[in-house]
Amino acid sequence: MRILILGGTSDGRALAELLQPAGPRPGSADRALSVVSSLAGRVRSPRLPPGEVRIGGFGGVAGLVAYLRGEAVTHVVDATHPFAAGMTANAAAACAETGVPLTILRRPGWTAQPGDRWHRVASLAEAAEVLPGLGERVFLTTGRQDLAAFAELDLWFLVRSVDPPDPPVPRRMRSILARGPFTVDGETALLREHAVDVLVTKDSGGADTAAKLTAARALGVPVVMVDRPALPPGVPVVATPEEAVAGL
């Protein structure tokens, strides 16, 4: 088996760890295999998974097809971010063309709890449309490459990302660089310090960045939640790295 993990997430790193040839252990896979993790290279200092790693794009569907054939890849696991819709679509198309089995690893999205004031939207553009009616001081956690949708709004933004934001950016903005996991106490203090009255986030799921939702609930801060893009039809989907290993 030659397994390609399309990674860049904590789940991708966990899957690579489970598949490393370090001897049998509970939850580990058959050792007659090799694994390579592929990262897009959009973060300057990514957390690297164990084992073989490649960084950079493939060059669209044609480039991925060539890679799968050239590397004799037998299985692909798409463990990219839930909003990496382009890479997921390319993986589905390339695997369909080559006949290589594809599994999508997607952690469950977040679920609203009693006391939450969520406003679900289908896109960043829709998030920008509803924001002026919800607050004036925005905590924006959608990522450094997604600020263009909010650049023309006359609101104040606190933007958090791993690397500095890419222009265009909002005119009134403070940028902070940080990487999760975050704590509820820390997120609560951050919202209070900056008098945040509305939070915008993508429905990424997972525990690393969920503390902001707990803090917003406690403080009564409304949340604009951007829904995930649809997945390609007919592709098996698992929720955990362990389920991915079992499928492989």
The string of pLDDT tens digits covering residues 38-97 is 998 777 778 899 999 999 999 999 999 999 999 999 999 999 999 999 999 999 999 999
The string of pLDDT tens digits covering residues 136-146 is 999 999 988 88
Q: Please report, for the chain, the start and end positions of each structural domain, with discontinuous segments joined by +.
A: 2-108+229-247, 118-226
Distance CA 131, CA 137 (A): 10
Which pLDDT belongs to residue 33? 85
Collapsing DSSP to helix, strand or coil, 200 comes out as strand
Q: How many CB atoms lie within 10 A of CB 131?
A: 23
Which pLDDT belongs to residue 24? 46
Query: Helices 85-98 & 60-70, crossing angle to 10 degrees?
Result: 50
- In the chain, beta strands by DSSP E: 2-6, 34-39, 52-55, 75-78, 102-105, 118-121, 137-140, 156-161, 173-177, 198-202, 223-226, 237-238
Which pLDDT belongs to residue 82? 95
Q: CATH assignment of 118-226?
A: 3.40.50
Distance CA 54, CA 33 (A): 17
Cα maximum dimension of the chain: 57
Tokens 């951050």 correspond to 190
Strand partners, 34: 2
Predicted TM-score (pTM) of this structure: 0.88
Q: Which regions of the chain are under pLDDT 70? A: 22-31
CATH of 2-108+229-247 among 3.20.20.100, 1.20.120.420, 3.30.300.30, 3.40.50.720: 3.40.50.720
